[in-house]
DNA sequence: TGCTAAGCGAGACGGTACGTCGCGTCTTCGG
DNA sequence: CCGAAGACGCGACGTACCGTCTCGCTTAGCA
């Protein structure tokens, strides 16, 4: 999340403020938390309109009614700001705990599909970051932890739940399988720009995951 | 390919010269075809060293012993040049005709894996283009036709060959399945930056494609 | 002078900032006045070394330790920058007040000749601008107000002082006469590239101005 | 004039062809003399419309219906072409032989003033060359020989004629005086951009030359 | 009459400067 | 000390023009 001086607590996530992460607390005006959200809001707006490359920090700041310094006090680079755009929101990501146990993998997958998520937006914003990743291991790590990681974790959770039920075929490569949906979605959004529609999502479950995991697409 | 005045024949691939693609054929010094290849060569070199974002047109030109104008006479933008980098070469892509019929899908897949291809380089160069795609349908089209398309076509070919042999399960979504390997490779290269090693390629075949297509991963 | 946001006061000389000359005064970091002088300094240096045509804005900026943008924020074109080079400095120009009344026109002229001035430098810098003047009435006006105007004003002042003494012949065309030295100097510097040496300056006074003004070159 | 391979004779004037001035005579198609005049014509046109800096060789060539190579085969640089523009024509320059002896310097000067000449055009074209002169002694020499030289020679001739008549005051600096009109005209055309009208020309004669040369402006 | 070397229109080529724009930092205010 | 505003150093972008080179054609003059 943002690299806030604001506390030192909130923590866990990762980034830091370059200007004295911990300590230095005494005088001065505290950070205005509304600026964070305004800026993220503006960033999402501009990203949606223009895409990463054509988005300028200056415009984000202007739309947020903020100065560039206010932006850079919170995020070290445009890329990091955009990342937070993906996840701050932020309970947008579905976790295994959000998915009711329907009694079958097929049911669980259907349940997930029916849950609204902002994933598409996340992927979209990721588009422009792709080219930054090779230069920045940290960025790569963050993207994987926050954007693609949670999806794989969810998938793995569902597969393990199925395994506990005895649904899984022996010898299924869970690790690999849990990456398939993310990869297919990324492929469409980044490369072919085909839509991620209901039918596509259905066939990911029915034609790929279920047969691989349980050996049958129908019964 | 390049947006050449060169003729009107040469190809049916795509790009054009902004300066009168068709017509005006007569006078003037003809384009020097060696410049095209020198520039593409240099572009590939620099891209490999620096990645898309950190590559400058000026450096490409310099390494090619060319002027910037000579580059821009052929490609309207850096992005278009990089695209041609991906494919002009260009028989790097494996087609169904290159793969001997081994008598089983498993064998065919193994044969493909053992063939060297420049695909990794193509994907690498694609990295920087991802962010340009949403702004340019033509670019998207070209990338799909030349970079990811051929892979899917190859895969579909192998699956159809298997189908002819009677290997395929009924109800297999060939269209979707043929995209899986590309998607998984793209995902690794673009997003997670994990290596595309022998083991990964093996498990793509053995743990994903074969089970989905033929219903068994071993026998 | 520079097209400064700086205020609206500072001067009444001429040029403006393209970005809101008047108005918009409040926020933001103010222009750093030292950059103006550093840049002008560097510009004078490079101009002296290379002449107008071979002077590069990039080099001026580099020598001033500035970015090109900082230069272009202040002057819209190379030509405008060079103009300011001529006059910002700037009390280089001799005015009638600087010349002691020696009691005779001849003495006054000798006094002026003995005063060091940066005129040569001004003319030199003007060289490259000549070709821009026809396209820019403002430029022409500025050049005349700041470079050649002051010389004519000085000359006219001296002639009027002589007239007050009763030295002048009746019917002398003061207006025309006051332009003669400037014209002769310009001619040498711009066209024939002969040096402006002591002898030349002497003969301008003794062989042209004095005979014309007072009717005698010697007594 | 042009640097013609054409002969080696025509001569006298100055420039040469870089490609074998003398020698190599045998085969090949001879230069087409109409191209010279067409190009000069076009050059004059464009120069008049745009001024030196904004004139491009490509446009001159295009208007002349010529190729750039045809231009550069005749003139080594844009500057040299423009110079020829000034003088090829070319009996435009008035020489002492063209001026009838009216019996007095005043009369001779009036006679000269009444003769149409293309001088203004010459000066105009010279405008853009000014900035090239410091870098090219040859250019400077040529300009002086062809543009300003003839004017000074004419003036000196008139003054010498007056001297032969006994009109001249003793101690007149003929050399300097003969440069005054050129200098004043150059000053107006290059620097102040005031028109060279009838009144100005009259006062050059009556208020400057005559008093200086003969000691009286009227009698 | 047919050969040949050069001229010619067209425009590509290697360079180089232009003026613009974006990033991430720094500097002044006022609150 | 925060926050708005925006200037700053840097450096890439894509354009334009210079003077040279190269193509395919045309056009003398010599054989």
At residue C90, the pLDDT reads: 53
At residue D25, the pLDDT reads: 53
Alpha helices in D149-194 (DSSP H): 149-165, 174-177, 180-186
Touch between chain B and chain A (3+ CB pairs, < 8 Å)? yes
* Chain B residues within 8 A of A186 when measuring between CB atoms: 183, 186-187, 190-191
Residue B81 covered by a domain: yes
Q: Do D187 and C182 touch (CB under 8 A)?
A: yes
Q: What is the mean pLDDT of residues C111-130?
A: 77
Which nucleotide shows the minimum CA-to-C1' distance to residue B29? F23
Residue D15: pLDDT band with limits 50, 70, 90: very low
Eight-class DSSP state of A90: -
Residue D183 has pLDDT above 90, yes or no: yes
Q: Is the CB of D35 under 7 A from strand E?
A: yes
Distance of CA B62 to the CA centre of its chain: 26
**Sign of the alpha-carbon dihedral angle for B107, B108, B112, B113:** negative
Nearest to residue C81, comparing CAs of C56, C113, C54, C50?
Answer: C56
Q: Which residue has the higher pLDDT, D147 or C212?
A: C212
The residue written with tokens 């500035």 in the block is C66
- Tell me which residue in B131, B177, B207 faces A53 most closely, judged by beta carbons: B131
- Tell me which residue in B134, B183, B215 faces A183 most closely, judged by beta carbons: B183
Euclidean distance between the first and the last CA atom of chain D, given in angstroms as a whole number: 45
Nearest to residue D38, comparing CAs of D86, D16, D71?
Answer: D71
Which nucleotides in chain E lie less than 7 Å from some protein C-beta?
A: 4-31
At residue D143, the pLDDT reads: 83
**Same domain for D182 and D116:** yes
Collapsing DSSP to helix, strand or coil, B73 comes out as helix
Contact residues of C toward D, CB < 8 A: 51-54, 126-128, 130-135, 140, 143-144, 148, 171-173, 176-177, 179-180, 182-184, 186-187, 190-193, 203-204, 207-208, 211-212, 215, 217-218
Q: Please tell me the distance from the alpha carbon of residue B158 to that of residue B137, in angstroms, as a whole number.
A: 29
A34, A68, A86: which is the final residue of a domain?
A: A86
Q: What would the two tokens of residue C175 be?
A: 């207006």
Q: Please tell me the distance from the alpha carbon of residue A157 to that of residue C152, in angstroms, as a whole number.
A: 91
**Same domain for B117 and B196:** yes
Residue A2 covered by a domain: no
**Same domain for B45 and B116:** no
Q: What would the two tokens of residue A95 be?
A: 């976790």
**Same domain for C98 and C72:** no
B57, B86, B115: which is the final residue of a domain?
A: B86
Contacts of C199 (CB under 8 A, 6+ apart): none
**Same domain for D111 and D50:** no
Question: Cβ atoms within 10 A of the Cβ of B73, count?
Answer: 19
Q: What would the two tokens of residue A187 be?
A: 């492929």
Q: What would the two tokens of residue A50 be?
A: 């223009």
Q: What is the CATH number of the domain that holds A105?
A: 1.10.357.10
Rounded to the nearest integer, the mean pLDDT of chain D is: 82
Residue D167 covered by a domain: yes
The residue written with tokens 């399945």 in the block is B177
Question: Is residue B150 a contact partner of residue B178, using CB atoms and an 8 Å limit?
Answer: no
C56, C86, C116: which is the final residue of a domain?
A: C86
At residue C219, the pLDDT reads: 45
Exposure pattern of C116-142 as b/e (b: 16+ CB <10 Å)?
A: eebbebbbbbbbbbbbbbbebeebbeb
**Sign of the alpha-carbon dihedral angle for A70, A74, A79, A81:** negative
**Same domain for B105 and B82:** no
Q: What would the two tokens of residue B149 be?
A: 């398309």
Q: Please tell me the distance from the alpha carbon of residue D98 to that of residue D77, in angstroms, as a whole number.
A: 33
**Same domain for D195 and D119:** yes
The residue written with tokens 């005045």 in the block is B5
Q: Please tell me the distance from the alpha carbon of residue A4 to that of residue A24, in angstroms, as a whole number.
A: 12
- Chain C residue closest in CA terms to D141: C192
Residue A8: pLDDT band with limits 50, 70, 90: very low
**Same domain for D81 and D98:** no
Kindly write down the DSSP assignment for every residue of B156-218, as one continuous string: HHHHHHHHHHT-SPTT--HHHHTTHHHHHHHIIIIII-----HHHHHHIIIIIIHHHHHS-S-
Distance of CA C12 to the CA centre of its chain: 17
- Residues with pLDDT less than 70, chain B: 1-26, 88-92, 117-121, 124, 216-219
Eight-class DSSP state of C143: H
**Same domain for D101 and D77:** no
Measured torsion, CA atoms of residues A135, A136, A141, A144, in degrees rounded to the nearest 10: -50
Q: What is the CATH number of the domain that holds A63?
A: 1.10.10.60
Q: Please give the model's pTM, rounded to 2 decimal places.
A: 0.75
Q: Which residue has the higher pLDDT, A8 or A50?
A: A50
Residue C50 covered by a domain: yes
User: Considering its fold, how many domains does chain B have in total?
Assistant: 2
Q: Please tell me the distance from the alpha carbon of residue A147 to that of residue A189, in angstroms, as a whole number.
A: 14
For the segment B123-150, what is each residue's pLDDT rounded down to a tens digit?
Answer: 767 777 787 777 777 778 878 887 888 8
Q: Which domain holds residue D45?
A: 8-86
Q: Please tell me the distance from the alpha carbon of residue B203 to that of residue B194, in angstroms, as a whole number.
A: 14
């Amino acid at each position: 999340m943002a690299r806030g001086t604001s506390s030192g607590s909130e923590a866990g996530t990762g980034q830091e403020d370059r200007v004295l992460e911990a300590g230095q607390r005494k005088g001065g005006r505290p950070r205005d938390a509304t600026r964070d959200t305004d800026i993220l809001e503006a960033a999402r707006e501009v990203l949606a309109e223009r895409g990463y490359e054509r988005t300028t920090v200056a415009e984000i700041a202007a739309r947020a009614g903020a100065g560039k310094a206010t932006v850079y006090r919170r995020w070290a680079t445009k890329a990091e700001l955009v990342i937070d755009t993906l996840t701050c929101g932020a309970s947008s990501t579905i976790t295994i705990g959000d998915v009711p146990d329907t009694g079958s993998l097929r049911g669980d997958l259907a349940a997930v599909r029916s849950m609204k998520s902002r994933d598409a937006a996340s992927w979209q914003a990721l588009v422009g970051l792709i080219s930054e990743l090779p230069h920045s291991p940290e960025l790569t790590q963050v993207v994987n932890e926050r954007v693609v990681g949670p999806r794989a974790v969810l998938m793995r959770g569902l597969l393990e739940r199925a395994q506990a039920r005895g649904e899984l075929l022996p010898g299924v490569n869970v690790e690999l399988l849990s990456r398939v949906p993310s990869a297919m979605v990324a492929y469409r959004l980044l490369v072919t720009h085909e839509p991620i529609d209901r039918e596509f999502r259905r066939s990911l479950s029915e034609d790929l995951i279920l047969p691989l995991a349980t050996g049958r697409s129908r019964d």
